[in-house]
Amino acid sequence: MVNRRGVLAAVLGLVYPGLGHVYLRRWLRALAWFVLAAATAALVVPPSAFEAFDANGVEGLLEASESFGLEVTLSLLAVRALNVADAYLVAVRDAAAKAAAEAMAGEAAAENCPNCGGELDAELDFCPWCTMRFERESPEDATVE
């Protein structure tokens, strides 16, 4: 099954590193990706591209980007790819943790008496605290059917 929340976080991370983490409400992680993307761009993009942006705006930056070398392109692409993978994996891990918490809550509810809330013994068909009777199937009955 596809984790829709993870896919959306990954797509947002593809738009700009950190946006997927903002969607997941992972604020510090989002800030770290924003800073990493900006620092990588500042380190690998040549100063001529910044000058072209100052002179002609986005159009000048697009013209200057055509002369970027392979190392510049791969560096910027690597940050994006790692961010996309991280956003998706964080969303998947959050979904797994949520499912585990819900399962634990369900188990805890099944182990307590619905009448008094006391802890139940799986071998008894009544609550030892309030004496409420339960309709439980014995293991032998379940195998016969």
List the domain range (segments joined by +) for residue 139. Answer: 114-145
What's the structural domain count of the chain? 2
One domain, residues 42 and 104:
yes
pLDDT, residue 133, reads 86
Indicate the pLDDT class of residue 64, thresholds 50, 70 and 90: confident
The whole model's pTM is what?
0.66
One domain, residues 102 and 35:
yes
Report whether 113 contacts 132 (CB < 8 A): yes
Those residues whose C-beta lies under 8 Å from the C-beta of residue 8, and which sit 6 or more positions away, are 20, 23
Distance (Å, rounded) from C-alpha 67 to C-alpha 62? Answer: 9
**Which parts of the chain fold into alpha helices (H)?**
4-15, 19-23, 27-44, 47-56, 58-65, 70-110, 139-144
One domain, residues 63 and 13:
yes
pLDDT, residue 137, reads 61
Report whether 42 contacts 31 (CB < 8 A): no
One domain, residues 123 and 101:
no
> How many of the other CB atoms lie within 10 Å of CB of 63?
13
Q: What is the pLDDT of residues 87-124, one digit of tens each?
A: 999 999 999 888 888 877 766 555 788 888 888 887 78
One domain, residues 62 and 120:
no
* Beta bridge partner(s), residue 119: 112
One domain, residues 75 and 144:
no
Distance (Å, rounded) from C-alpha 84 to C-alpha 21? Answer: 9
Average pLDDT over residues 60-89: 91
Using the CB atoms, write b or e for 24-41: b if 16+ within 10 Å.
Answer: bebeebbebbbeebeebe
pLDDT at 59 over 70: yes
One domain, residues 69 and 8:
yes
Q: What is the pLDDT of residues 25-52, one digit of tens each?
A: 999 999 999 999 999 999 999 898 888 8
One domain, residues 125 and 94:
no
Average pLDDT over residues 68-83: 92
One domain, residues 86 and 125:
no
pLDDT, residue 145, reads 47
Distance (Å, rounded) from C-alpha 119 to C-alpha 127? Answer: 8
Dihedrals phi, psi of 133, to nearest 5 degrees: -85, 150
One domain, residues 76 and 118:
no
